[in-house]
Structure 1
């Protein structure tokens, strides 16, 4: 799978996008010269981008090489705690500040995503768009920035919980409950619904990871 060159994106954004869509997976080694050739940019901005990504813990050292980082159990738990709090706040603010147009977009997303139930990869991408729309509907730029970083880190997970049988349908029902609360301008309800959604996603992931560990042990 290749990444098309995009003149409006810098090296940092190009590498981030490649990690986000799974071109580079946890454990993959990133080589400066290969990245420069892939993206059609010089090695200097690639080097600076790699340093920035390492500082953000999205890349890790493996000897002298840089690899895409992976998350252990404790890091995963910490990430979901932060995600639940920030996403819950975004939903609360969306209930207070979203426009009618933004609410209709969220409602349309839930309806159209039902067609993706049998395609976990497509549903995962749609899920990211849905959550991003809630972030934007919060109308708080600083919160959006923090959530961007959280969701970039989520890209370090090797699989999506939406691939677990039955989770897609349940997740979309949870999305619907979140939008219902936002539409009612119920900040408490929106925050609670989104936190429940994140908690269920985390629980599903833990069960899935545990089952996989049992299968290979």
Structure 2
């Protein structure tokens, strides 16, 4: 486990506190599945391994609890295990939020932003592995959310993506599933280019719905 000097994986920011960095690192470990569901998060052990005091650990755990990533169980924190109904509820929220983001992007995105979205979509060659596709997919949707020009909406969408099962399933996509997902990306780019908010919103909703179907099929 890295030391405090290595937190987080991304470059340190001048205005970011130690608590922010600890939080971001712990969040990443949970989202990537390196700390799995129902595993305990013990303040003393984390503080010792990260070579930081308990205060930033305690603050980080409170933030992770607010994110819905950990829960209190028998007077200790554990990584939350989401059941089928919870996952469905999370994805129903994503369908609504991401369809609105696509709709707003059609109306508010600059031509340069649409060019960037299209260029990123075209950059996928189909030869990368699933890890590369996960990174590519995250960036694609992030660009659309940014183009919606609604920071509050962006924050809520980001929070609804911070779950282990999202990466767990995406990392095991079959080649045909990757191809189908990319075809949906290309259709969404076309709708954005045409400034068609209804079609873009519908495509975005169905894209999230298809992801939910895969998650339910694989996990349950």
> TM-score normalised by the shorter chain: which range applies?
0.7 to 0.9
In structure 1, what is the equivalent of residue 120 of structure 2?
109
Q: Cα distance 1:106–1:2, how it changes in 2: closer, same or farther (>3 A)?
A: farther
Distance 1:75 1:189 in 2: 28
Deviates more, 1:201-210 or 1:189-198: 201-210
Q: Residues 165 and 215 of structure 2 are in contact (CA less than 8 Å); yes or no, is this contact kept in structure 1?
A: no
Q: 1:18-37, aligned counterparts within 5 Å?
A: 18-37=29-48
Q: Tell me if 1:94 matches 2:110.
A: no
1:15: how far off? 1.7
Deviation at 1:51, TM superposition (A): 1.7
Match of 1:192 in 2: 202
For structure 1, which segment, 82-91 or 39-48, has the greater mean C-alpha deviation from structure 2 after superposition? 39-48
Supply the distance in 2 between the matched residues of 1:128 and 1:75 (Cα, whole angstroms). 22
Write the distance in 2 (CA, Å) between the matches of 1:116 and 1:123: 9
Q: Is the 8 A contact 1:106 1:133 kept in 2?
A: yes
For 2:137, the equivalent position in structure 1 comes to 127
Deviation at 1:199, TM superposition (A): 1.1
Q: Structure 1 residue 140 and structure 2 residue 150: aligned?
A: yes
In 1, Cα distance between equivalents of 2:43 and 2:197 = 46
Cα distance in 2 for residues equivalent to 1:75 and 1:54? 16
* C-alpha contact 2:31 2:167 (8 A) present in aligned 1: no
Q: TM-score, normalised by structure 1?
A: 0.86
Distance 1:67 1:97, change over 3 A: same
- The TM-score normalised by the length of structure 2 is 0.85
Q: Paired residues, what number?
A: 208
2:214 alignment partner in structure 1? 204
Aligned alpha-carbon RMSD (Å): 2.1
Q: Structure 1 stretch 33-42 or stretch 23-32: which is displaced more?
A: 33-42
State the secondary structure of the residue aligned to 2:71. strand
Distance in 2 between residues matched to 1:37 and 1:110, nearest whole Å = 43
Structure 2 gap ranges (5+)? none
